[in-house]
Structure 1
Amino acid sequence: MNVLIAQSGGPTPVINRSLQGAVEQAVRLKGINHVYASRNGIEGILNEQLVLLEGRLAELEQASLQPGSVLGASHYLLADGDFERIIHRLEQLQVTIFCFIGGNGSSRMVKALHQLALSMGKNIRFVHIPKTIDNDLLGTDHTPGFASASKLVSHMIQWIGMDMASMKAYDKVGIVEVMGGNAGWLAAASALGKKNASAYPQLVYMPKHETDVEHFLAQLEEAYLSYGQVMAVIPDHIKFRNIQSDQAGNKQIRERLNTGISGHLAAAVRERLGLKTRVTAPGVLYRCMSGMASRCDMTEAYRLGAEAVRFASEGLSGGMVRLRRVSNDPYYCDIEWIELDDIAGKERYLPPEFWDAEQQMPTRAFREYMLPLVDGQVPEPVSL
């Protein structure tokens, strides 16, 4: 019996910790001969690009502390017949456990492969190990990668705010574009250090709340007149009625301004309000700043990888390993098995009780949810 593991989609600061946990659990199991890894996601299976991992535990430990998917990832779209080819290839390799570390697309693939293997009478168990900085997977309290990205963005916003405050006589508007997909979790996490309406960031927008440039400019001008300086957080997937967002693929805006939607908004602020505006678009820093990784995130990513292999070794297939919060103080999450039937590929949005839309601030409930994930660390700037 053998185990095969693959990574898929955009990486996170802790994706390699899940890989390490899965491999170390697999080598402890009796009856497991080899632990294979597939290079570049599912493509490595189809293209026969595999690597043996059971003899490389020291390298895996080192890789677990670095960003990026050490196996390489992929957004390969399966063609007709690919699912059958994957099943046959796994059977040739005598793989009985296949673990796929990824987001919503990976969960759909695990579900489909599990159902096909059942229909073909193949004894191969398929497990989804969740991963995404977007925190948008159903069925789990939170997703590995999100805590580290949240820790970074909440610190980064306060750091930028400190810089802005020191330049208040010169810089008037700062626009920070954050990643996070359609769900809004990272945008909300950017305001963890916000204590009142005047604190940075003064304006935070949620991706699912459609707005327009006129409304944005009016809100920004009002905040500027009140506070003398404004920082606005803009999700990269925000929907504006009168301009296309990054998600809509406005290539001309991105190429002309060398940024996404925030560049278009900054140009509008300069032209319409006459205010000096700076744009910060950290891009992939949320995924690769392993030096800011959350200790909580590192621990849970490893545990999920290990438990995925354990559950599969006990005969489970077609599900995901999830975190179920038991307690906030002291903080602890159990790891459980959940079937993918009703959750695969479905997005989990920020619940309304976590966000005060009128004040554009996170609620106390959101802060209580978040603090253990960011190791209880939220910067508190000092002003003299």
Structure 2
Amino acid sequence: MNVVIAQSGGPTPVINMSLRGAVEQAIRTDSIREIYGSRNGVEGILDNRLIPLNDKLAELEQASLQPGAVLGGSRYSLREEDLQAIVDRLEERNVRIFCYIGGNGSSRTVMALHRYASEAGKDIRFVHIPKTIDNDLYGTDHTPGYGSAAKFVSHIVQWIGMDMVSMKTYDKVELIEVMGGNSGWLAAASALAKQNEEDFPQIVYLPEKEISLEALLADVEKAYQRFGCAMMIVPDHLKISGLQSDMKPNHPRQGYNGGISSKMAVEIRSRLGLKTRVTAPGTLYRSMSCLASECDLSEAYRLGAEAIKFAEEGRSGGMVALTRLSDQPYASRIDWSDLKNIAGQEKPLPDHYWDAVNQMPAEAFRNYLLPLVDGQVLKPISL
């Protein structure tokens, strides 16, 4: 039998490591002959843009340490008529395993293809390999990509904080725009090093909680009066009543508030008279591979390899998932997670992970996150 592997959604610093893991395991599996990569997700299957991967191990090894989806990402919305077309294309090439590396959208695609193939009596196994810096997938302890993005944001907050301390007599308010979708996992990670109220960042907003513009301005003024400067974490999906928004109530992911921090900066300058700076790293959260977590890289590879094993055993319609065994020492195992009731569902940051009064992570969240960032908490020196 043959295998097709594809990547979808926004890349992560470790997305290609999962691809490498899947390909290398497929090569080690006696029952598998040909391994294909589909360019740009399921679009490559529909358009017959499949490339052989059996002889590309050297390239995949190099790509596994770089960001960006080496097969090309996709945000293609699957149509009902595509299901038969995809299954037909797979059958034409004697493909019995399809592995899709992606986030919530990819899980929905895997579930839809699995249901269609099962009802049609087709022996094709569909497996979801999780990937997203948002860490918002149900059925797994965490997702590959999140640890590296969390490490990046927790580090840059401290670096920018030192720059703010240096320029305290000039710059007053720093706004850092953070990715993470509708869940606060990445925004909360920005405060990993925060131990006291005055530590950076002083103000952290989570996308799960709507805030009014007036309350936001009051938070800024209070922090500035107390500490002489203020750093604010702004999720790009934050909902602010009283501020013009690009969010679409029925399609929040499609109409996200990219650039919302710039709008907030205008309000802070005009209403409070404070000089502001805006830092919006954007795709750096997904592409800063020089700060990739070793834990993240290792687990991404393992998930790719285990996906092939589960599929070869006959599993379909599920996700290879991480189950945490312990925090200290950190250990995890890989299980099969059925997608039936969780595909496409967004997992919010649990309330007990966040100290809303002091706007900092609770101890439970620190214990959860530390292993995923290789235990690295940056605390610069200030004289």
Q: TM-score range by the shorter chain?
A: over 0.9
Amino acid at match of 1:77: S
| Match of residue 267 from structure 1 | 266
| Match of residue 17 from structure 1 | 17
**What runs of 5+ residues in structure 2 fail to find an aligned partner?**
250-256
The CA deviation at 1:242 is: 1.6
State the distance in 2 between where 1:82 and 1:243 align: 40
- Which 4+ stretches in 1 moved above 3 angstroms? 244-249
| Match of residue 240 from structure 2 | 240
Is the 1:155–1:378 contact (alpha carbons within 8 Å) kept by the matching residues of 2?
yes
The CA deviation at 1:244 is: 3.9
Please give the TM-score of this superposition, normalised by the length of structure 2: 0.97
Is the 1:236–1:247 contact (alpha carbons within 8 Å) kept by the matching residues of 2?
no
State the distance in 2 between where 1:124 and 1:243 align: 49
Deviations 1:21-50 (A, max 9, x none): 000000000121100010011100000001
Is the 1:21–1:305 contact (alpha carbons within 8 Å) kept by the matching residues of 2?
yes
| Match of residue 178 from structure 1 | 178
Moved more, 99-108 or 235-244: 235-244
Amino acid at match of 2:289: S
1:151 counterpart SS class: helix
Is the 2:78–2:109 contact (alpha carbons within 8 Å) kept by the matching residues of 1?
no
| Match of residue 164 from structure 1 | 164
State the distance in 1 between where 2:345 and 2:47 align: 29
State the distance in 1 between where 2:372 and 2:79 align: 39
Aligned residues: 376
Equivalent runs, 1:11-160 vs 2, <5 Å: 11-160=11-160
Deviations 1:38-89 (A, max 9, x none): 0011100000001000111010000001100000011112234111000011
The CA deviation at 1:342 is: 1.1
State the distance in 1 between where 2:209 and 2:44 align: 39
2:161 counterpart SS class: helix
| Match of residue 276 from structure 2 | 277
Amino acid at match of 1:328: D
The CA deviation at 1:382 is: 1.2
1:107 counterpart SS class: helix
| Match of residue 369 from structure 2 | 370
State the distance in 1 between where 2:49 and 2:71 align: 10
Amino acid at match of 1:151: K
Amino acid at match of 2:10: G
Amino acid at match of 2:208: K
| Match of residue 302 from structure 2 | 303
Please give the TM-score of this superposition, normalised by the length of structure 1: 0.96
The CA deviation at 1:316 is: 0.6
Is the 1:245–1:260 contact (alpha carbons within 8 Å) kept by the matching residues of 2?
no
Is the 1:111–1:341 contact (alpha carbons within 8 Å) kept by the matching residues of 2?
yes
Is the 2:268–2:276 contact (alpha carbons within 8 Å) kept by the matching residues of 1?
yes
| Match of residue 332 from structure 1 | 331
The CA deviation at 1:259 is: 6.2
1:373 counterpart SS class: helix
2:373 counterpart SS class: coil
Establish whether residue 360 from structure 1 lines up as the match of residue 359 from structure 2.
yes
The CA deviation at 1:246 is: 4.6
Is the 1:133–1:144 contact (alpha carbons within 8 Å) kept by the matching residues of 2?
yes
State the distance in 1 between where 2:129 and 2:334 align: 11
| Match of residue 212 from structure 2 | 212
The CA deviation at 1:247 is: 3.5
Amino acid at match of 1:269: I
| Match of residue 252 from structure 2 | none
What percent of counterpart residues are identical? 63
Is the 1:157–1:200 contact (alpha carbons within 8 Å) kept by the matching residues of 2?
yes
The CA deviation at 1:243 is: 2.1
Deviations 1:252-280 (A, max 9, x none): xxxxxx96110011001110111110000
Deviations 1:117-173 (A, max 9, x none): 011111000000000000000010000000000000000000000100011111111
1:97 counterpart SS class: strand
| Match of residue 187 from structure 2 | 187
Deviations 1:305-334 (A, max 9, x none): 000000000111110000000011110110
State the distance in 2 between where 1:248 and 1:66 align: 34
Is the 2:237–2:258 contact (alpha carbons within 8 Å) kept by the matching residues of 1?
no
Is the 2:16–2:64 contact (alpha carbons within 8 Å) kept by the matching residues of 1?
yes
RMSD: 1.1
State the distance in 2 between where 1:244 and 1:80 align: 36
State the distance in 1 between where 2:81 and 2:362 align: 48
